Structure 1
Amino acid sequence: MKRNLYIWFVAVLLVGFALAQNAGDGIAAVFKQEEPLPTETGSRAGLLAPGFSLTAMDGKTYNVGGAKDKAIFVNFWASWCEPCKQEAPELNALAAKYKDKLDVYGVNVTSYDKLKDAKAFVDEYKLTFPILLDEDGATYAKYNGVAFPTNVLIDANGVIQEVILGILPEEELERKIKEVIKK
């Protein structure tokens, strides 16, 4: 009787192992451990994005920092910046295309710009995503801004995935956005 019980136990164990192997990743999937979130905040990839709260041209206040329902794309710009002008239509299209999975915030670094010029820029390029005003430049400084545009890709966990200085070809930028959305 003990021998039959032992054989039955081994058979069940083997069937369970076979089922686990056919489930895709096998037993390794059961023991897979997710990478821990960083605890340090900073302005570079792999760190938690520095938090900020800014008022936008629409009068609403927007917050960045911590886990969110969507990934975030922060675009620091100024109205006199030629690459910003080239990038504006592309950002508008990407914001519309990924609106369910990505929040796009344009941050006008008003301390390096004039509010009337920023408003004219938004009107000229018909920007539809929120335009936040960094009037004293403190938010731009938190991200160690050194060039316009500076784009920051932040995943839904609030972790910076990439900081992009200047502009990228549209296909490359969209590929990077898709990668951040997947995380």
Structure 2
Amino acid sequence: MKKKITIWIGILILVTLAIFQNSDAGVQTVFKMDKPLPTESGPEAGLLAPAFSTTGLDGNLYNVGGEQEKAIIVNFWASWCDPCKIEAPDLVRIADTYQNELSIYGVNVTKFDNKKNAMKFVENYHLTFPVMLDIDGTIFDQYRGAAFPTNVLIDKQGVIREIILGAISAEELEKKVKKLIKS
């Protein structure tokens, strides 16, 4: 009996490794879309991005959901998150480089952080893209957030193309941005 269980566990491990090895993006990519334009919304690749409107620290109103002029990355972060600190300069560079084709919206999940530390993070990392405070975690919950950072890549039609949990290399992120902009 134990021998059969051990064999099955070994098979499951090998199948899992084979799947991740054949994935073009590795473990960080949780969802990917390869479907036509959907009609329903939800926090997963292939569906329309859940809509939200919120005011940024700059006082402007920002909307996610439906067709947009540019592709969007919604970046959920917290000031205490070390991978978020590593990723911040890459996001600033990408926001500046692709400003005509891409909007990056930083969403500090203040429910798990605090406003003072979030403001200090924005200042320390010279975030040039719009930043919003998700005080009660409503937006993060709407996207079923599970980790920091989480990057939601949304095309111009408002469809989620990928949800990336955790930080990825600057090169890999830029590759995904180029693909997102073309979609």
TM-score range, shorter chain: 0.7 to 0.9
TM-score by length of 1: 0.80
Find the residue that maps to 1:135 and give its secondary structure: coil
Find the residue that maps to 2:96 and give its secondary structure: helix
Change in 2 beyond 3 A, CA 1:36/1:162: closer
Identity across the alignment (%): 60
Find the residue that maps to 1:74 and give its secondary structure: strand
Find the residue that maps to 2:180 and give its secondary structure: helix
Find the residue that maps to 1:85 and give its secondary structure: helix
Instruction: Tell me the residue number matched to 2:127.
Output: 127
Query: How far apart, in 1, do the equivalents of 2:145 and 2:172 lie?
Result: 22
Following TM superposition, by how much is the alpha carbon of 1:46 offset from its aligned partner in structure 2, in angstroms? 0.4
Query: How far apart, in 2, do the equivalents of 1:126 and 1:51 lie?
Result: 27
Instruction: Tell me the residue number matched to 2:79.
Output: 79
Residues 48-103 of structure 1: CA distance to partner in whole angstroms, max 9, x if unpaired? 00000111111111110000011001100000000000000000000000000000
Instruction: Tell me the residue number matched to 1:105.
Output: 105
Note the 1:32-111 alignment, pairs <5 A. Answer: 36-111=36-111
Find the residue that maps to 1:156 and give its secondary structure: coil
Unaligned runs of 5+ in 2: 1-34
Query: How far apart, in 2, do the equivalents of 1:152 and 1:136 lie?
Result: 19
Q: 2:77 is aligned with what amino acid?
A: W
Q: 2:105 is aligned with what amino acid?
A: Y
Based on CA coordinates, which of the two structures has the bigger radius of gyration?
Answer: 1
How many pairs are equivalent? 149
Point out 4+ residue stretches in structure 1 off by more than 6 angstroms.
none
Query: How far apart, in 2, do the equivalents of 1:101 and 1:88 lie?
Result: 19
Unaligned runs of 5+ in 1: 1-34
Q: 2:63 is aligned with what amino acid?
A: N
Residues 100-142 of structure 1: CA distance to partner in whole angstroms, max 9, x if unpaired? 0000000001111110100000000011000011111010001
TM-score by length of 2: 0.80
Query: How far apart, in 1, do the equivalents of 2:133 and 2:66 lie?
Result: 20
* Aligned-residue CA RMSD (Å): 0.9
Query: How far apart, in 2, do the equivalents of 1:178 and 1:135 lie?
Result: 32
Following TM superposition, by how much is the alpha carbon of 1:36 offset from its aligned partner in structure 2, in angstroms? 4.6
Query: How far apart, in 1, do the equivalents of 2:59 and 2:39 lie?
Result: 32
Query: How far apart, in 1, do the equivalents of 2:132 and 2:50 lie?
Result: 16
Q: 2:132 is aligned with what amino acid?
A: L
1:166 paired with 2:166, answer yes
Find the residue that maps to 2:66 and give its secondary structure: coil
